[in-house]
Structure 1
Amino acid sequence: MNKRKICIVTGTRAEYGLLYWLMKEIQADDELELQLIATGAHLSPEFGLTFKQIEEDGFTIGEKVEMLLSSDTPTGVVKSMGLATIGFADALVRLKPDLLVILGDRFEMLAVSQVALITGIPIAHLHGGELTLGAYDDSIRHSITKMATWHFTSTDKHKKRVIQLGESPKRVWNVGALGIENIFKIPLLSKDELYTQLCLDKNKSLLLITYHPETHGDLEGIHPLLKVLSEYPNMNLIFTKANADNGGRFINEVIEKYTSQNENAFLFDSLGQLRYLSAVKHAELVIGNSSSGLIEVPYLQTPTVNCGNRQAGREGPTSVFDAELDEESIRNGIEKALQYVGPYEQIFGDGNVSRKIVDILKRIPSYLIQKEFYDL
């Protein structure tokens, strides 16, 4: 029996962490063959060469598509997308997948979506219908929705948005958020194990910070955040690096300078899923503007301070406290979060996501169908 070839593309550590169990599920299925393309930050020494973790986890990378320039200006990102488009064109010709699975809204995924559209490879898109008004990711996500044939959303509200974009309800399924699966399946580190691995002061509590650039906003928002964090010298401040969006290097440089001057602050290229989720579990709160603060963090019963507009429009539970990018607002958000005792709403599904997706991938057509525009 010829196995159906399912190709997954991953470009960042965070994205791979979300895709891990889906990849495992495809890999273990007798009817499917997993193909894997690693690109973007995975191949960059600056971001920790995280493709090595993928291989250590038992996956075979079929193609590596180099694309990142040593520039995160808008021009540099656009040129990286051009390199990615060329690289993906060659990679997909060699792999000849039956279906291409794409997660989310990053510029790497826009590049590979274009290639798949023109070369006639059907796209299954994960996490469509969401909103992040503070970043150009929002427009990228909706563009991929229009190039994709099959859609897997994280909530019913997001499913309705995909349909509103003209996609037939017959091709849209609400399966929940991928990241929730890690929480239910990964045995997390104890607080003592985490503190030992990260070389933290065991007499201090923990704040976890991830701050990405607002591609539709001002990069200077990192400064008031760091100024407020300086008011917590009796806490371990754990930073993870910003992503490769334009402005990310500037933010990382500012954080590197801050951590070099504050002995209670530490910056990591990548914590990996196990240590990241363990840090979330044992943190007093999570601060920044990562989507994980709204999706995964509440499932670990940790409050979030969501800073700025990067995630504006995204659904979030009551344990998420929004703050503007000024000192007073951030300070108030942190104090409210530190006093929060619940409830922790779980609005992104039950964690049984990958099995649902694989069951659907096995039964949908693996050829490019003629999409109609579904009018409401």
Structure 2
Amino acid sequence: MDLRKIAIVTTSRGDRWPLDSIIRAFYASNEIDLVLLVGGALSIENPKSRELRFFEEWPEIVIHDIGGFAQTLSPFGIAKAIGEMLPTLTETLSMVRPDILIILGDRTEMLAVATAASLCSIPIAHIHGGEKSEGSTDDATRHALTLLSHLHFCSSKGSFQRIAQLGVNPERIYVTGAPSLDRFRESKSTESIENLSKQLNFSLVRPVALMTYHPPTLDLENIHIELEAIIQACSKLGSVIVTLPGIDPKSDQIRARLTEWEQSSNNIKAFESLGTIYGEVLSNVDFMIGNSSSGIVEAGFLGIP
């Protein structure tokens, strides 16, 4: 029996973990030849990529590094990294020749992925199309990816309708829910705050908040005002678990301020990624603060304020 070759692209923790259950299912299938295309913050070009990837448990999967890590987080630096990724992607896809390419979300570098796939006549399956964001350029990128894709797996009926309004044939749109929620079927609530403290190597005191703040790309001038307001509010809490922002314009400034805050306070600890224990952490905090989509999808699912 000929195996169906499926390639999955992941470039950040923002898509790495929502894709986790899909990767696991394909890895376990005897009908699929799975290939991973890894770039952006997960590329080996990033010195911190090992803190984000977590691929060690799948040694048999073929992984192609497609580069695209931005050395500087200015618009020019990010554009340069994406531009350099495009020829690598095109060459890799021409060599791998997957039957279908899976992408998720709305990150800018996925436009290069979709462009390369189009040049190579490889069909694209897009996950999480049709959603809405405020304060960022995500909507425009997401809709562009929708129009470059051939199959659409969305999280809600509202997303289905918005994809259809873009002119997509409804027969190619499937409401499958958010794959990131699959992890909570396996997440185990800790018996006590002490157990979670041991896992994080951070002494937690309630109330505990999980905080993530990404640059609002349509309002970059007010980053410092918003961030300082969040820090001031969090200073009154027992403990704050912070996940640092990804590769976006001015995220380096946010990282610098959060690092400064961490060094001057004993009630905050910052992480590049919470990796496999993210679900367990979120399940046990008292609330979430910031502007991460996880505050809508996963926190909403769990009933975390």
Tell me if TM exceeds 0.5. yes
State how many pairs are aligned. Answer: 300
Give 1:81 shift.
Answer: 1.2
Q: Relative to structure 2, which stretch is displaced further, 198-207 or 280-289?
A: 198-207
Give 1:245 shift.
Answer: 1.1
Residues 284 and 170 of structure 1: is their aligned pair in 2 closer, same or farther, counting only changes over 3 Å?
same
Does structure 1 retain, via aligned residues, the 8 Å contact 2:211–2:241?
yes
| Corresponding letter in the other structure for 1:212 | H
Does structure 2 retain, via aligned residues, the 8 Å contact 1:6–1:97?
yes
Gaps spanning 5+ residues in structure 2: where?
none
Q: Which has the higher contact order (CA 8 A, sep 6+)?
A: 1
| Corresponding letter in the other structure for 1:7 | A
Residues 78 and 53 of structure 1: is their aligned pair in 2 closer, same or farther, counting only changes over 3 Å?
same
- Which residue in the other structure is 1:374 paired with? none
| Corresponding letter in the other structure for 2:207 | S
- Which residue in the other structure is 2:89 paired with? 88
Q: Are positions 1:231 and 2:236 aligned together?
A: yes
- Which residue in the other structure is 1:214 paired with? 216
Residues 107 and 159 of structure 1: is their aligned pair in 2 closer, same or farther, counting only changes over 3 Å?
same
Q: Take 2:159 and 2:64, find their aligned partners in 1: how far apart are those partners?
A: 32
Within-5 A mapping of 1:1-376: 1-43=1-43, 44-45=45-46, 47-50=48-51, 52-58=53-59, 60-190=61-191, 191-218=193-220, 219-220=223-224, 221-232=226-237, 235-274=238-277, 276-303=278-305
Does structure 1 retain, via aligned residues, the 8 Å contact 2:106–2:142?
yes
**CA offsets per residue over residues 81-120 of structure 1, 9 Å max, x none?**
1011122111111211010000011012111000101110
Give 1:57 shift.
Answer: 4.8
Residues 50 and 225 of structure 1: is their aligned pair in 2 closer, same or farther, counting only changes over 3 Å?
same
Residues 184 and 39 of structure 1: is their aligned pair in 2 closer, same or farther, counting only changes over 3 Å?
same
Q: Take 1:62 and 1:202, find their aligned partners in 2: how far apart are those partners?
A: 37
SS of equivalent to 1:100 = strand
Residues 264 and 61 of structure 1: is their aligned pair in 2 closer, same or farther, counting only changes over 3 Å?
farther
| Corresponding letter in the other structure for 2:72 | S
Give 1:14 shift.
Answer: 2.9
Does structure 1 retain, via aligned residues, the 8 Å contact 2:205–2:239?
no
Does structure 1 retain, via aligned residues, the 8 Å contact 2:52–2:272?
no
Does structure 1 retain, via aligned residues, the 8 Å contact 2:212–2:245?
yes
Residues 205 and 15 of structure 1: is their aligned pair in 2 closer, same or farther, counting only changes over 3 Å?
same
Q: Take 1:110 and 1:181, find their aligned partners in 2: how far apart are those partners?
A: 26
Q: Name the TM-score, length of structure 2 as normaliser.
A: 0.93
SS of equivalent to 1:8 = strand
Does structure 1 retain, via aligned residues, the 8 Å contact 2:34–2:62?
no
Q: Take 1:51 and 1:205, find their aligned partners in 2: how far apart are those partners?
A: 27
| Corresponding letter in the other structure for 2:88 | G
| Corresponding letter in the other structure for 1:10 | T
SS of equivalent to 2:5 = strand
SS of equivalent to 1:55 = coil
State the Cα RMSD in Å: 1.7
| Corresponding letter in the other structure for 2:82 | M
Does structure 2 retain, via aligned residues, the 8 Å contact 1:183–1:299?
no
Give 1:173 shift.
Answer: 0.6
Percent identical: 31
Q: Relative to structure 2, which stretch is displaced further, 161-170 or 44-53?
A: 44-53
Give 1:48 shift.
Answer: 4.3
| Corresponding letter in the other structure for 1:301 | G
